[in-house]
Amino acid sequence: MGLKVNGARTVLNLLRKVCQLTHHFGFRQGVINILGSEIATDFFAVWDVACPVIEAIVSADNYFNKIDKVAEHTGDEDLTALV
């Protein structure tokens, strides 16, 4: 990944960090205390499903960043042979 980070990558990094935090008991307990038990349960039911999707998007972004970096150095735009 390059030195430049755009807004989309910043949001992905933020969501990834929140996914990591939701695995900690203290974070979950804090959300339950703030939102209430029923709403927090619904939130985590959706969020636990979304976290693997976010990880997949981050992995795909890393992969395409690597391909873009190779394209910059080689000057070749057709990198389908690398896939």
CA distance 37 to 49: 19
CA distance 12 to 31: 21
Question: How much is the pLDDT for 74?
Answer: 63
What's the pLDDT band for 71 if we cut at 50, 70, 90?
Answer: low
What does the mean pLDDT of the chain come to?
84
pTM for the model stands at 0.68
Question: How much is the pLDDT for 35?
Answer: 95
DSSP code string of 12-34: HHHHHHHHHHTTSHHHHHHHHHH
Question: How much is the pLDDT for 8?
Answer: 85
Looking at the predicted structure, is the pLDDT value of residue 39 above 90?
Answer: yes
What's the pLDDT band for 69 if we cut at 50, 70, 90?
Answer: confident
What's the gap between Cα 15 and its chain centre? 5
